[in-house]
Amino acid sequence: MTALYVEIAEELRRSILSGEYPVGARLPSESDLADRWSASRGTVRQAVALLTSEGIIGSRQGARRIVLRRERRHSFAELHSFAQWARTMGYRSASRFLHRERRAATPEEARRLALPEGAGVLDVLRLRSLDDEPVMLERTAYAEWVAPTVESLPVDCPSIMDSMAEDAGIVAHYGEHLIDAVPAGSDDARLLRVRRGSPLLRQRHLTSNQDGRPIEWTEDRYRAGSVTFNVSNSVGTAPLVRDPGSLLM
């Protein structure tokens, strides 16, 4: 059975995410919240403390708790690019190519992209931001058949996937995702404005077209606290799998 304070925290979190309590708004008083859930004020304080620990709410000079931010959730239920997801969440996104160069595929890239030995890829590094805040570094190996399209894009192209679909009819239909955590190296720390060794959320994903032909093998590194990935499942359908072997590659 879920503890009451957790249920209260979940309900308040949903209200914040839905916009019922926008950023800067005050939450109801402890006594009002206690009356609403027929709970003690101590239970309400536990719920509020949970949201405070997440950085979603806070207080100013002893006033009632206020909303500091909305959680950025990225769901795997649909295949969206970073820019598409940002638009649906109401954020301003920006992107900048840091480099684009052809090189030989690594063994892992060749395996993921189903390439023959000695095949080449287009190596791309991009810095992504939300509301003018750097949040993610994107390192991608593109298969040679899509490389010319990516090379032709402007340096500040907001969405490679959108542009490939519009300009070349290359549409992503399938995605496979691996998630773990890694420490920030010197370059990551400098670009994301964090300390060296800080934890980064890493998402690796393979994207393919409708025919199952691999398009890209990407490694995204998110600054801690910048995004929350959301996975919904059930007894009958469980898309999230713990795979220790893949995390050790």
What Å distances lie between residue 159 and 23, 95, 153, CA to CA? 27, 8, 10
Looking at 22, 45, 67, the residue that finishes a domain is 67
> Are 30 and 133 contained in the same domain?
no
Would you say 200 and 188 are in contact if contact means Cβ atoms under 8 Å apart? yes
The conformation of residue 21, written as its DSSP 8-state character, comes to S
Dihedral sign from CA coordinates of 36, 38, 41, 47:
negative
> Are 144 and 123 contained in the same domain?
yes
Helix or strand holding residue 10 (H, E): helix 4-18
> Are 131 and 205 contained in the same domain?
yes
Per-residue pLDDT of the chain in tens (249 residues, 90 and over written 9): 568 888 888 888 878 877 788 888 888 888 999 999 999 999 998 888 877 766 678 765 445 777 876 555 555 544 567 777 777 566 788 999 999 999 999 999 999 999 998 899 999 999 999 888 899 999 999 999 999 999 999 999 998 988 998 888 988 887 788 889 999 999 999 999 999 999 999 999 999 988 999 999 999 999 887 777 766 555 555 555 555 554 433
Count of structural domains, the chain: 2
Looking at 47, 67, 87, the residue that finishes a domain is 67
The conformation of residue 44, written as its DSSP 8-state character, comes to H
Indicate which CATH number applies to the domain containing 35. 1.10.10.10
> Are 120 and 57 contained in the same domain?
no
